[in-house]
Structure 1
């Protein structure tokens, strides 16, 4: 293997430090352990037909870059019977294997239980194996933003590729994401409303610069009051890397929700639909084109995925992000 020049090595180590600081210092070690324990995956070529349930890893060329995505096809999949598709985006400094780790996010189990195809794209990375990747969510984050990587085009290409290989219900294509991945989901809602019916952002606010979605895209936002990375009231918290070259002065949760209720033409005040110890959810339902905006707030859990687990800290168990998300998506069925 050819040795890296010293200057390039320093740059790569700096990128790694930024990403690790953004999402937690134990991320790389946990990612490597998760990869070692992950079930085997099949690696078909892009566009190659897939008929069997299982786990797949696909390489896709886009905009001159070799990109990858993982896919889980649940046991209930049958060709000829269209199935919903969920694009799940990892946080900054993570990768597709991290987001697909069922012990942390439970999305594979949710796909089996709810009956949807789960797709895990990998963000932009300069490191071997796509580790410590970021998404270009406009004002965040890291190398993907700084190089203006075409992540919207890449994810469009992923959905198109999956739709060629599997029978996807194109009216039920959704995106979700954690942190930087949630921010990227907001960018998809802004710039790919023809693809995504709804998004669910967890611990990541809307940091886009321009947004005029048509048709309207429904939005679920889940956030902890004590998030120390992406502060509820805006800004990069003490848990985030404070170098502006790495992250940004994040938009607040209230500003994000206000922006989307305005974009979606929500006319009535919100209705509280969940009120349990440690969490509540408010729903704006009288919105244009049958769209909805919902905000779920947990009292604790910090920068994490409610109902999941992580190496450091304890995510809120007051609500389950996966169940909340899929109930929200299911509520849109029958809308225009």
Structure 2
């Protein structure tokens, strides 16, 4: 997965910045290369349960017209082994942006389409796309192997990139469109709108002599065309302002017509910026998903702990959703302990993972003191999981491991742990 927003303008020079980032990415790639053999990666039998959790399935509309619903052969999903190909959906944009936009996604079908099928949405990181994710991260972590072994329909959407360097001519000169004249020029590539556009307090550059955080004059990343239309070009630019919640909502509805799905078993996760989107979907679609899985992705500060009311506002609906998260201990792009990314200078400011887990523990009335997870899978010694015990409804689990942003743990432990977890839970009510 790609890196999330992390760098500020008064960090090292461009060539130094590039060298630092290249070194970090090489470290992550090295850990991937030393991981399990992708050709032989298997899902641990303890993580496979074709019967699923107890409770009653909630069939989607597609179940009324046969096992594969209204799916037509042309443009149908591919297999887990590939080749991977895009399908399109036209999504209406919010009135402030106007019109509609074609979005892309990849569907991976299990061997049997006899439903109702559980569904797993997986979102790539910044700068990535669905096909690259299927070929790399989702495969290397064992997520795809376990999704296939458990008979899941896996859905990998692709984010958007309407960076002004590419599209400014369609909107006129930047200054005339309300974009500051000192607007940055860097392009972070495809990504996800996690609801923070226009918030001028999500990035910093440094501390003063008294230890106070100083807001950035401006990040070195320019505004995106969709944000210009919404007049949300602030100091902390880094993503588009397209409606990704609307995209996910429309895509799930489309798939629910095309396939026979179990709407009580819709799961979602993502890495890096995709993990940030996973958190955001918990706020915006609290009655949809049976479990959430962000991997090295945390909300920007103020977007998880109730300051803006998101998780507190939706806590009643979220009591039907379980939560599990994985994060690398040495991450300096989205630090596990929160705060500013230190990869290159000061930058965006993140919520600590423990605060995030405590928020979910409170939603489920769990014990505030976590204990060891009672089921573990083969993994390096540095992989460690805890759960918050005595919850009133679902479980809350946190796993940490040594590595940097983008690192993959050996032996497919991420996929094994995730699907062992998923297979315990469904929503009591159908996704809506």
User: With structure 1 as the length reference, what TM-score do the two structures score?
Assistant: 0.73
Pairwise CA distance, 1:100: 1.4
State the match for 1:301 in structure 2: 403
Quick one: distance in 2 between partners of 1:251 and 1:236? 9
Quick one: distance in 1 between partners of 2:368 and 2:424? 18
Quick one: distance in 2 between partners of 1:294 and 1:268? 12
State the match for 1:115 in structure 2: 151
State the match for 1:14 in structure 2: none
Pairwise CA distance, 1:224: 1.3
State the match for 2:111 in structure 1: 75
Pairwise CA distance, 1:86: 0.3
Quick one: distance in 2 between partners of 1:54 and 1:147? 29
Closer/same/farther in 2, CA of residues 280 and 57 from structure 1, 3 Å limit? same
Pairwise CA distance, 1:49: 1.4
State the match for 1:153 in structure 2: 246
Pairwise CA distance, 1:318: 7.0
2:142/2:416 contact within 8 Å kept: no
Q: 1:132 aligns with which of 183, 186, 189?
A: 189
State the match for 1:5 in structure 2: none
State the match for 1:100 in structure 2: 134
SS, match of residue 215 in structure 1: helix
User: CA offsets, 1:40-97, max 9 Å, x none?
Assistant: xxxxxxx96147763552211221222111110111222xx21110000000111111
**More RCO (CA 8 Å, sep 6+):** 2
SS, match of residue 59 in structure 1: strand
Taking the TM superposition and a 5 Å limit, the aligned residue runs for 1:35-54 are 49-50=71-72, 54=78
2:123/2:130 contact within 8 Å kept: yes
State the match for 1:186 in structure 2: 279
Quick one: distance in 2 between partners of 1:24 and 1:170? 40
User: CA offsets, 1:246-296, max 9 Å, x none?
Assistant: xx21211112112221233324632311577212111124334x2211001
Q: 1:256 aligns with which of 348, 356, 359?
A: 356
SS, match of residue 157 in structure 1: helix
Closer/same/farther in 2, CA of residues 53 and 286 from structure 1, 3 Å limit? same
Q: 1:176 aligns with which of 269, 281, 284?
A: 269
**Of the two, which has the highest radius of gyration?**
2
Quick one: distance in 1 between partners of 2:248 and 2:23? 22
Provide the aligned length of Structure 1 versus Structure 2.
281
User: With structure 2 as the length reference, what TM-score do the two structures score?
Assistant: 0.58
State the match for 2:386 in structure 1: 282
1:72/1:108 contact within 8 Å kept: no
State the match for 1:205 in structure 2: 298
Where do 5+ consecutive residues of structure 2 fail to align? 1-16, 27-68, 80-84, 94-99, 167-187, 203-220, 228-237
Pairwise CA distance, 1:321: 1.0
Where do 5+ consecutive residues of structure 1 fail to align? 1-16, 27-46, 306-314
